Structure 1
């Protein structure tokens, strides 16, 4: 839900938060863009290149990477907006998409990470039953449900575009007139979009630790499966703790204490946590590499093939004197 606009309110000219955002956001967003575009773009390539040998886990990871890549593509526009001192130059529709994409990415990421952790956990407890219940088709259906649910619930953000303020166009701002409504939206998003998945993730972590501490795993295949499950949940938890938890805490506190013209360290903190929330796209490629089904092997195979082709191309060059 679009709460970034209230967090980014800069209507008070005496407030230095505008200067802070102008210096902070462009640099951070461009760093996230380069890192995230390379990591997620290449991950999508690997998943699609080896799709015939894919699993339900990789289907969830592919959808997570697509969500990240779509959001990453909007960051140069955000960086340009703040670099110009909060002056939008790309039209009303693009302005609506900026806020919409942020929250669609955030909550699809949260749900895809949670589903991945639950599937990994169930694979350690009921591997044979899970094998029959989690097909590629079933994984795509669940991904579709998540996409439709998040996109539909965030559709309210597409109703409001840029606002004119003298000679500039404000895109990521919202007046205090909608504050009561924003508080309600925040509480719903906080519970359904964050707390419910976060508690589910913690339960999975505790239960899988219990299973690993009690069970004796003689087979190397089972050990690898349990290790991937634990790695998936740990990376997901770290992403929640570093990216999503600070943002949701500061966003809620800001909406409770915010008033027109307010300015202070809390506003700067919300700016930083919003950047951390956007940075979640940079951490997911580590999940694919360390916990994806045969992702490492497929990545090495692609590199080996590329090196072989490069070597053949060099050898086929005509000899010149």
Structure 2
């Protein structure tokens, strides 16, 4: 009898052990698998891309950037290189009279052309899925060139509008201040100020992570520094020039309304000044204003535990618009440049006399020649 009881107890222990083993196996199967955190990278300034590591949900816009940036940057590169390259060619044509307006426009075109030369590197970076292959120094130059171009464009457009306004309202009193020599000095001051202010961007280079090399990316720990830099750039780099441009617009409108029957020369001067300021305002409102608003909003709203994918995409789109200012500036040269159309006709006659020898494709010369006849 005791032997039978002993066998029953062993049988119960075996059944208990099997039940415990089955329970442990089931609990292991139910245990959640730890997934690597998803990466959300959005174009943030004033120091390149901003990297947000968020493990709560998939917040990446890498696919969007791979599809969006290469196409847009290629369009900006082609149009910007042709438009600004040909504009520089026209500005450098020998002409009987040189003006301070053309000096500012020439420097603006040079800034745009230098920036467009960096766009193929950005296209390659995003086509490779955010993998940089051009070295650390080239990576540092990318963000530096973008912001030097953006803020030098803002300041050149503002100075150009102010000079146009002053030359219209006080044409003789400020004749010395708007001389060609002083224009070159002022351009040098703008270049030095913008480049010196942007040197902080050269401190951030490429970073090796796994089997890829990242560029234009920032550490989330630098968000406080980013916010400070953004506030300075917002006030000094955008709001101050934008307010100055708006005041010039209002004052030139006032001057036009006060002039009851202006002389032909005065009317032409007013019209050129008004055209310059209107085109500059359009570029500000289309290219620079949306980006600065969304960049600031993104930095204020940023939180490591929250994902706002739509805002990330909006910032990326407005950054592309800011880069596209180099495509719109040639319109300013054509419609508001001093003697630009005459210089253009002279360049086209020279191009035509050389038959097929031209700095740009013959089709561009022929098309421009037809346009100037209208």
Q: 2:343 aligns with which of 298, 311, 318?
A: 298
Aligned pair 1:113/2:113, yes or no? no
State the distance in 1 between where 2:101 and 2:224 align.
40
The 1:29–1:12 alpha-carbon spacing in structure 2 relative to 1, beyond 3 Å, is farther
Structure 1 counterpart SS, 2:208: strand
The alignment of Structure 1 onto Structure 2 pairs a total of residues equal to 311
Displacement of 1:243 after TM fit? 0.3
Q: 1:243 aligns with which of 274, 280, 287?
A: 287
Structure 2 counterpart SS, 1:259: coil
CA contact (8 A) 1:10 1:18 kept: no
State the distance in 2 between where 1:57 and 1:163 align.
43
Displacement of 1:64 after TM fit? 0.5
Displacement of 1:10 after TM fit? 6.2
CA contact (8 A) 1:97 1:158 kept: yes
Aligned pair 1:98/2:142, yes or no? yes
CA contact (8 A) 1:92 1:161 kept: yes
The 1:217–1:93 alpha-carbon spacing in structure 2 relative to 1, beyond 3 Å, is farther
Aligned pair 1:152/2:175, yes or no? no
Q: How does 1:47-66 map to 2 (within 5 A)?
A: 47-50=91-94, 53-66=97-110
The 1:27–1:12 alpha-carbon spacing in structure 2 relative to 1, beyond 3 Å, is farther
Structure 2 counterpart SS, 1:64: helix
TM-score by length of 1: 0.93
CA contact (8 A) 1:6 1:174 kept: yes
C-alpha RMSD over aligned residues = 1.8
Residue ranges of structure 2 left out of the alignment (5+ in a row): 1-43, 358-374
Task: Specify the alignment match of 2:51 in structure 1.
Answer: 9
Q: 1:128 aligns with which of 172, 177, 180?
A: 172
Aligned pair 1:277/2:322, yes or no? yes
Q: 1:48-95 CA deviation, whole Å, 9 max, x = no partner?
A: 123663211100000000111111100010111011111001000000
Structure 2 counterpart SS, 1:49: coil
Task: Specify the alignment match of 1:88 in structure 2.
Answer: 132
Q: 1:130-182 CA deviation, whole Å, 9 max, x = no partner?
A: 22221111001100111001100110010110111111111011011110011
- The structure richer in helix per residue is 1
Displacement of 1:129 after TM fit? 1.6
CA contact (8 A) 1:7 1:254 kept: no
Answer with 1 or 2: which has the greater Rg.
Answer: 2
Answer with 266-275 or 13-22: which moved more: 13-22
Displacement of 1:305 after TM fit? 2.3
Aligned pair 1:286/2:331, yes or no? yes
CA contact (8 A) 2:46 2:229 kept: no
Q: 1:267-307 CA deviation, whole Å, 9 max, x = no partner?
A: 00000000000000000000000001010111011112222
Moved over 4 A (4+): 4-8, 10-13
TM-score by length of 2: 0.80
Displacement of 1:263 after TM fit? 4.0
CA contact (8 A) 1:4 1:172 kept: no
State the distance in 1 between where 2:53 and 2:157 align.
37
CA contact (8 A) 1:7 1:251 kept: no
